[in-house]
Structure formats: C-alpha cells, structure tokens
Amino acid sequence: MANALLEKTICYHCGDDCPTGEYTIEEKHFCCHGCKSVYQVLSDNKLCSYYNYNEHPGATRAHTDKRFDYLSDPSIVSELIDYTDNTVTIVTFYIPHIHCSSCLWLLEQLNRINPAVHYCRVDFLKKQLNIRFDHNKLSLRQLVELLNDIGYEPLISLQDIIKKQNTATKDNLVQKIAVAGFCFGNVMLLSFPEYFGLSVYEQSFRHFFGWLNIFFCLPVVFYSGNGYFISAWQNLRKKVLNIDFPLALGIAVLFARTVFDVSNRNGAGFSDTLCGLVFFLLIGKFVQKKTYHHISFERDYRSFFPVAVHIIENETERPIPLSQLQTGHRMIIRNNEIIPADAILLNGYALIDFSFVTGESIPVNKTLGEIIYAGGRQTGEAIEMEVIKPVSQSYLTQLWNNEAFTRKQDNRMQTFNEKVSKYFTVVLLTIAFASLFFWLPTDVKRGFAAFTAVLIVACPCALALSTPFTMSAALGIFDRNRFYLKNTRIVEQMAEIDTIVMDKTGTITTGEGDSVTIEAVLTEEQKALIYSACINSIHPLCRMIYHYLGSKDRLQVHQYSEIAGKGILATIGAHRLRIGSAPLVCGHREVALHATKVHVAIDENYIGYFAFAHRYRDGLEEITALEPSYRLFLLSGDQDHERYELVRFFKDAAQMHFDQSPQNKLDFIQSLQKVGGKVMMIGDGLNDSGALKQSDLGIAVTDNVNNFSPGSDAILDGRSFNKLPLFLRFSKDTVNIIHISFLISLTYNMVGLSYAVTGNLSPLTAAILMPLSTITIISFTSLATRFTAKQRKLL
Amino acid sequence: MSIIYFLIGCSVLMALLFLGAFFWAQKSGQNDDLYTPSLRILIDDDEEIPSEK
C-alpha cells in the first residue's frame, strides 16, 4: 500500500504526471480536463481499445483552447478540401500527433463516433489522414472539432504543404524504372544465344532476336531515357555542358549503332548495354531522391501564421481569412494566438512573446496605443488591435520581399559532378573525333566503329552514379543521427563551408527556458520586498525573479530608481533595497562568469544572489573548438546581457553581434559572402529566415521536427546539436569518396577506351564492362560511406 | 525449332501482362504508402461487436 501511495499518478491518456487527483473516472487518473474528456468521448463510443495497443498514447490536452469557427468560411474550406460534390467531400489533414498504432487504429474508426464519415485512411509516415465524409451531415468544422475532441488536432496552415508534396512526386520515375528493368531482363535473355554462339542452322534466330531487341530498346530510349535527352538539350541551349549531355549522346549512339548493326547483319548490336545503362542510371536517380514526408523545408511565415483571424465589425465578431485582412480592421487576438499583421493595441493587457521574431525569449509588455509588430504571440488575456499594415507588408514579412527569397536556389555552388562533367565531355568528344579521323583515311567503316565505340564505352555511367549512391548513403547516415537534409547537394555544400554563424536564442540555448536558483535564505517578508521591487521593472531578469518568487503581496514602493545596466534601488517602508550587479550591490567586480547573477542587499546587509543558469545546448564547446579551421560568429536578436557568459565560447568580442534585426542578420551573412566566405547559418526562428536563405547552407535547429521550423536546407534535431562537428567532418569524407570513385570509374573508362579506339569493341565486352563498373562503383561508395561513418562514430 | 518463335511470343506476352499489372498497381496507388499496412496488420479485429449494428 505504501508503495502505491509513493508512486506518482500518471495520466491514463497522455502519460504526464497528474498534479491533482481531481480528474478521475473509473479509477483512471487524468492530468487535466482535456485528457479526461477525450477518454469520455472514446469510452462513450466503445473505443477504449485505443488504450490497449500502447500505454498512454494520447497527447496532453492541458493547453488547448483552439477555435475552429473560421472553418465555416466557404473560401477557407474550399482551399483545404481535395474534392467535393453534392454529397461527399474528401479532405486530407496533416496531424502531427500520429505516432503509434493506437493513433492509427483510432483514426480509422472515426465512423463509429460519427457515421457521416465514410472512409478514413492514415498514412503513417506522412502523418496524414485522408477522410471522405458526407458534408450534409457533418461540416468540415465539425469534423475538425471531432478530431480535436479525440486529441488529434490537425495542423491547418495557409501554406498547404501536403498538397505541394503530393504533386511534386509525380514524375513517373518508378514507371520508367519498371519499363527499363523489364526490357533489360528480356534483352539479356535474348542476347545470351548470341554470346554463347549460334550454329549455322540457327542463323535465322539471330536476326529475329536482333529485331526483337531493337523492339525492346524503343521504350527504353523514348520513354525511360527521354529525360536525359530533354535535360541535355535544355542545358545545351543554356550553353552548359552537364553530365546529361554525354549520357544522352551515349544512349543515342548505342541505339543508332544497334539499329545499324542489326539491319546490316553486322552483329548483335549493343541493346543489352543500352538497356542496362538506362536502368542503372534511373536507379541512381531514384536513390538520390530521398523524401522526408513528415518534414518540410519550405516553410515560410505563412505556415507560422494562423489561417484566419477574428475581427470586430459592427459590434460583432467574425473570422476572416488572413488574405482578406486589411488596414483598419479591428482584430481580436486571444491567448497563444499569433499577431498576423502590424497593429496598434487598442484594448487589453498585452504581453507579447516575440521569441520567434527577435529571438528574445522573455515576453514583452506593451502599452495601449503602441505599435505591435506581426509575429508576436500574445500570452494572457484577449487583446483588441487595429491593423495598420497588410500582412505581406508588415515589418517581419517584408523580409520575404528581399531578393534572397526570389533568387534561384540552384546556382549556389557547383557540385563536383558539374565541375567535372564539363571537362569530361570535352575530352570524350576529342578522343572520339581523334579516333574517327585517325581511321578515316584508311578504313571508313572502322573509323565510324571506333567513333561510336568511344562514345559508348566512355559513357559516364559510373560517374553519374557515384554521386547519387554516395550521397544517398550519407543522407541515410545523417538521417539516423537526426539531421535531415533537403537533398543530396547539401552534403557537398556542407563540405565547402568555412564560416559558421549561429543564432542565440533557441539555437545555442534550449527552448526550455532558463533556470533560476537562489543562493540566499529569505524570509517571507524579504521575498515580498524583493517581489515588490522587481515587479516595477521591465528588465528581463527582474521579470524572471518575480515569476520565480510567485505571487506575493505587492507592497507600496516609496522610492524607486533603475540604473541602466546596473540594477534597481528601492525604498519600501523602512527598508532600502539594492538589487542588481555586483558593483552596485557589493561594491566590487564579479569574478565568476559561469552564470548571470543578480545580487540583493537589504538595508546595507548583503543577503545573497539569484543565479540564472542559461541552458546552452550540449556540444557548444565542441563547435566553438572548430576554430580556427572555421570562422565562428554569433548573431543574436537579444540585448547583450549574456555577453559575459558567452565569452567562454566566443573568445573575441567581435565574433558576437547583439541586437540584430532579421534584416541585419541577412546583411551580415551577405557581407561575409562578399569577402569569399562560404557561410553556414544555424538558426531556429522566423527572425533567422532571411539569414538562412541567404547563407550557403541554412540549418534550422528544432526540438521537434514536426513543429514549425523556418525554410532551410537542412533541419537538425536539437538532441544532435553536439554532433555538428562530426557532420562537418563526415561531409568532407563523402566528398573524398566521390573523388575516389571518380578515379575508379576513370580507370574502367581507360580500359574500355583502349579497346574502343581500335574500333574492335565487341558487344560482349561492352555488356560486361558497363555493369561491372556500375556494380564496383555502387558497392565501393556504399561500403566506403558506411566505413567512414563508423570511424566517425555516426553509425 | 520454329516453336521458339511461339514460345518467345508467349513469354513476352506474359512479361507484358506483369508489367501491365505493375502499372495498374502504381496508378491505383497501391504503392503510395508502403509502411502503414505493416502497422495495420498488428491491430486485432474488434471482439465486442457494437450492439447498435
């Protein structure tokens, strides 16, 4: 019994601790009313098996006060749904909480709660729910409220990531691979008799097999391989020689030579080489395309802002879509809602959390009539504001009008592949024409044979495959270490980096906030005195002190003065208080720099101090140890009150820049790039978006990859922050692997060329050489990548 | 040996059928979500049948 008492009660729904025993049904404890009501809904509908598959499958419901009335607006509804007719509507929601089999089970049982839902299917990896329902019996708003009631609130945002991602993947690559693989298999089968030798009686088969092979090559060249021709042509028109040009040339020559050989009964042609080449190339394309369905790299302010906002018109409140919000509208912003446009505060007590915009972690108090910039999050009661600028013109969103956001992403840095393929093509063409002109005077037939053979054998199949296979293996390794890259190019960009710029709040500090510890024994009276003095100040540290002390009686303050950068002096009743830095309170400078301290003296007696330990992420030391091979900078939207603590990490004062606006950050990155720096920016909030976009490699740090993170090239889970130096080293390793595999493929090409220039390339040699080199490259790159990852302890 | 012509014709036809089947599967979205069904199979059918049915 004693054991049972000692045990903490854990919420049956979400697994959090229960602070009170207030919420209990059928001997099941809940942490809050929200969790309890979810349980009630489920038990009313006989859906309690939900709790059998996993323990505590739910999300905590302690902080939800969502309003979905904007979903009654037809213009918003039509944006969200996939399909609708007279009776049925189909809609796809992104539900971040989907994480276990219980979620899956419950969400596919929706029609037991409401029969108007005809069909629901979960896509677990994408965290999406596809629902078909009868909109005459159940409105979209009711459906969302139903989902919210059972604890699965869909994330509805202006920027519809779901639809964009679903449409982006329709390039028929899988079908193309299927066709190429099908033809490759059949052509191999039909080519075997030729290689093993056909007797004189069977010569008619030779011809038949030849034509059949050409028939199989047709879909390979014109369907599966058409992407290479298109790409090569487009690049030629832009006067760029990329790797697709020699590939397309190789495919074309292979096909032409095969048709020529077969129709002239010259030989069997190269149809198996052709099909194999296209098949392997497409496989390379396929592995390169790694998609993270649950992560979006393209988010901007629109996915951070709400879909709709409530405005007051003619004394009534109604929701309107954000796009219709205009100057002069009076809007209502409730607790935890985001202010979508610059506005003047008209009514209510505004305490705005600007952490996303400025990086400042402590909410700011605003007075009536003050302009509040968009992007802040109201904490506390509802406030009324008048819009002074449309959404797209506000202080924060203006950042997106910067040229960094309209610039094309592609031409940031050239990959190794792009650099090499230029020279490769030129050399290839030179050799091909040289051998043609060498043989032409003596033997025309042999000249053309040599010319085509060079183009066939030197077709940079292995070169084209080395990058995708190495990079996809590297991406897999990063992924296991909770570092998600947008695409394979990013690995090479990372290897080029020489300058690292970091944001402060949320990036090198954890989002959990700072902890206050008190190094003094205080009586209740002293606590009340300190509380009353601090509550007058808007300094962040004072705010943290009075929050820490909790609510006390506020005493009458007789005299009060605040010395900027030092502290406060106050007289309360008969007591005189000094609260602030060591010089002010103790009269001497402080030595220890490990934490910010606020000292307290009452009536000339030193009482003690409050220490504020900022929680820096693990591994900050390792990252700052990267100097001098990397240049390091810190950009912070904050005031410089942490400067002394950060000196531990950033030795030089010039490395730290405080009080930086989003535009300042972007400009700073630009100035580094102007002097030739390859800049990696690490940030977390909307305020960093400009800098992330401008930098050569933007990494967003987040504690939850499903939450909002600004548009970036890579997303790093906060838990893996300490591995960043390893990632940087590993990216250099992978580039080395690509270089080595390029050398290997060159060796194969040399061997092949030595046959080809003589004009004596037999189809069998080509058919062996091509797959052999491909398999060597694939196995070398994947094994080498895994090996180096193991050495770097990333695997 | 002319039977080879017939046999190859048959084999190509069969292979084309399979290719067609793959295309159909791809088009009808059977390969869109390759993960969720593996979880769905772990879920038991309900033993208690709701009385209102």
The C-alpha atoms of residue A384 and residue A349 are separated, in whole angstroms, by 9
pLDDT above 80 for A449: yes
Please tell me the predicted confidence (pLDDT) of residue A166. 55
HSE-up of A439 (CA within 13 Å, CB side)?
21
| Mean pLDDT of all residues in A412-435 | 85
From A150, A151, A153, select the one nearest A45 (Cα to Cα): A150
pLDDT above 70 for A540: no
- Taking the C-alpha atoms of A35, A36, A39 and A44 in order, what is their torsion angle to the nearest 10 degrees? -140
Please tell me the predicted confidence (pLDDT) of residue A780. 94
The C-alpha atoms of residue B45 and residue A279 are separated, in whole angstroms, by 43
A499-503 and A631-635 beta bridge pairing: parallel
The pair of structure tokens assigned to A137 is 């019996």
Least confident piece of the model among A387-391, A406-410, A426-430: A406-410
| Mean pLDDT of all residues in A510-537 | 75
| Mean pLDDT of all residues in A395-404 | 71
Please tell me the predicted confidence (pLDDT) of residue A8. 65
pLDDT above 90 for A200: no
Q: Tell if the CB–CB gap between B19 and A182 is shorter than 8 Å.
A: yes
% chain A with pLDDT above 70 = 89
The C-alpha atoms of residue A626 and residue A618 are separated, in whole angstroms, by 15
Report the largest interatomic distance among the alpha carbons of chain B, rounded to a whole angstrom: 69
pTM, 2 dp: 0.80
| pLDDT higher at A636 or A779 | A779
The pair of structure tokens assigned to A639 is 């005031």
Q: What residues in A contact B43, CB-CB < 8 Å?
A: 53, 101, 104-105
The C-alpha atoms of residue B10 and residue B16 are separated, in whole angstroms, by 10
Phi, psi of A635, deg, nearest 5: -120, 130
The C-alpha atoms of residue A546 and residue A598 are separated, in whole angstroms, by 12
The C-alpha atoms of residue A635 and residue A690 are separated, in whole angstroms, by 13
Q: What residues in A contact B19, CB-CB < 8 Å?
A: 178-179, 182
From A55, A49, A10, A45, select the one nearest A30 (Cα to Cα): A10
Q: What is the mean pLDDT of chain A?
A: 82
The C-alpha atoms of residue A280 and residue A228 are separated, in whole angstroms, by 13
The pair of structure tokens assigned to A437 is 């002109």
**What angle do the packed helices A244-263 and A271-288 form, to 10 degrees?**
160
The C-alpha atoms of residue A496 and residue A113 are separated, in whole angstroms, by 55
* 3-state secondary structure (DSSP) of residue A320: strand
Question: pLDDT, tens digit, for every residue of A266-277?
Answer: 778 889 999 999
% chain A with pLDDT above 90 = 18
Distance (Å) from the C-alpha of residue B36 to the closest C-alpha of chain A?
5
Residue A39 and residue A12 in contact, taking contact as beta carbons nearer than 8 Å: yes
DSSP A163: H
Exposed / middle / buried, residue B15 (Cβ in 10 Å: 0-12, 13-18, 19+): middle
Residue A223's alpha-carbon distances to A180, A277, A282, A670, B19, in angstroms, are 9, 14, 12, 44, 14
From A713, A678, A716, select the one nearest A501 (Cα to Cα): A678
Question: Which of A103, A104, A170, A184 to mutate: most B Cβ within 10 Å?
Answer: A104
Query: Chain B contact for A88, CB < 8 A?
Result: no
Q: How confident is the model at residue A186 (pLDDT cuts 50, 70, 90)?
A: very high
Question: pLDDT, tens digit, for every residue of A717-736?
Answer: 888 888 999 999 999 999 99
| Mean pLDDT of all residues in B7-18 | 93
pLDDT above 50 for A4: no
Q: How confident is the model at residue A2 (pLDDT cuts 50, 70, 90)?
A: very low
pLDDT above 80 for A333: yes
The pair of structure tokens assigned to A575 is 């007591």
Length of chain A: 795
The pair of structure tokens assigned to A144 is 């969302």
| Mean pLDDT of all residues in A357-364 | 67
- Alpha carbon of residue A517 to chain centroid: 35
Please tell me the predicted confidence (pLDDT) of residue A508. 82
Q: How far apart are the first and last CA of chain B?
A: 65
Q: What is the CATH number of domain A301-401?
A: 2.70.150.10
Please tell me the predicted confidence (pLDDT) of residue A3. 44
Q: Which of A34-48, A70-84, A357-371, B9-23 has the highest mean pLDDT?
A: B9-23
| A182 vs B15, B31, B33: nearest CB | B15
Q: How confident is the model at residue A65 (pLDDT cuts 50, 70, 90)?
A: low
Please tell me the predicted confidence (pLDDT) of residue A100. 84
pLDDT above 80 for A164: no
Distance (Å) from the C-alpha of residue A52 to the closest C-alpha of chain B?
10
3-state secondary structure A363-431: CEEECCCCEECCCCEECCCCEEEEECCCHHHCCCHHHHHCHHHHCCCCCCCCCHHHHHHHHHHHHHHHH
The C-alpha atoms of residue A752 and residue A747 are separated, in whole angstroms, by 9
Residue A93 and residue A154 in contact, taking contact as beta carbons nearer than 8 Å: yes
Those residues whose C-beta lies under 8 Å from the C-beta of residue B21, and which sit 6 or more positions away, are none
* 3-state secondary structure (DSSP) of residue A68: coil
Q: How confident is the model at residue A280 (pLDDT cuts 50, 70, 90)?
A: very high
Least confident piece of the model among A80-84, A326-330, A374-378, A595-599: A595-599
From A27, A26, A31, select the one nearest A11 (Cα to Cα): A31
Question: pLDDT, tens digit, for every residue of A213-243?
Answer: 999 999 999 999 999 999 999 989 988 888 8
The C-alpha atoms of residue B53 and residue B49 are separated, in whole angstroms, by 8
- Taking the C-alpha atoms of A140, A143, A148 and A150 in order, what is their torsion angle to the nearest 10 degrees? -170
pLDDT above 90 for A289: no
Region of residue A363 (left: phi > 0; alpha: psi -120 to 50; beta: else): beta
Q: Tell if the CB–CB gap between A178 and B36 is shorter than 8 Å.
A: no
| Mean pLDDT of all residues in A374-392 | 84
Least confident piece of the model among A1-5, A138-142, A455-459: A1-5
Q: What residues in B contact A185, CB-CB < 8 Å?
A: 15
Could you tell me the residue ranges of all domains in chain A? 2-53, 69-156, 168-289, 301-401, 483-509+617-729, 515-613
Least confident piece of the model among A99-103, A638-642, A685-689, A758-762: A638-642
- Fold observed for domain A515-613: Calcium-transporting ATPase, cytoplasmic domain N (3.40.1110)
| Mean pLDDT of all residues in A507-534 | 76
Residue A5 and residue A21 in contact, taking contact as beta carbons nearer than 8 Å: no
**DSSP-H helix ranges across A197-323:** 203-219, 226-237, 244-263, 271-288, 301-304
Position A752: which residue type?
G
Element (H, E) at A519: strand A515-519
User: Closest-CA residue in chain A for B26?
Assistant: A175
Give the dihedral sign, CA A783/A784/A787/A789. negative
Pairs across A and B, CB distance < 8 A: 51
Exposed / middle / buried, residue A203 (Cβ in 10 Å: 0-12, 13-18, 19+): exposed
* 3-state secondary structure (DSSP) of residue A608: strand
Least confident piece of the model among A135-139, A276-280, A644-648, A689-693: A644-648
Looking at chain A from residue 528 to 567, which residues have their Cβ under 8 Å from any Cβ of chain B? none
Q: How confident is the model at residue A1 (pLDDT cuts 50, 70, 90)?
A: very low
Phi, psi of A644, deg, nearest 5: -70, -35
Residue A388 and residue A342 in contact, taking contact as beta carbons nearer than 8 Å: yes
Distance (Å) from the C-alpha of residue B33 to the closest C-alpha of chain A?
6
Exposed / middle / buried, residue A762 (Cβ in 10 Å: 0-12, 13-18, 19+): middle
pLDDT above 80 for A568: yes
User: Closest-CA residue in chain A for B39?
Assistant: A101
pLDDT above 60 for A7: no
- Alpha carbon of residue A417 to chain centroid: 25
Q: What residues in B contact A178, CB-CB < 8 Å?
A: 19, 22-23, 26
User: Closest-CA residue in chain B for A100?
Assistant: B39
The C-alpha atoms of residue B27 and residue A675 are separated, in whole angstroms, by 52
Query: Chain B contact for A44, CB < 8 A?
Result: no
Q: What residues in A contact B40, CB-CB < 8 Å?
A: 104, 108
Please tell me the predicted confidence (pLDDT) of residue B15. 93
DSSP B45: P
Chain B residues contacting A, CB < 8 Å? 1, 4-5, 8, 12, 15, 19, 22-23, 26, 31-33, 35-36, 39-40, 42-44, 46, 48, 50
The C-alpha atoms of residue A702 and residue A692 are separated, in whole angstroms, by 14
| pLDDT higher at A640 or A654 | A654
Q: What is the CATH number of domain A483-509+617-729?
A: 3.40.50.1000
Peptide bond into A628 cis (omega under 30): yes
The pair of structure tokens assigned to A354 is 């600007």
Q: What is the CATH number of domain A69-156?
A: 3.30.70.100
Strands annotated E in A685-784: 697-702, 714-717
Least confident piece of the model among A58-67, A94-103, A375-384, A555-564: A58-67
Exposed / middle / buried, residue A666 (Cβ in 10 Å: 0-12, 13-18, 19+): buried
Residue A634 and residue A682 in contact, taking contact as beta carbons nearer than 8 Å: no
The C-alpha atoms of residue A211 and residue B12 are separated, in whole angstroms, by 14
The pair of structure tokens assigned to A463 is 């070169």
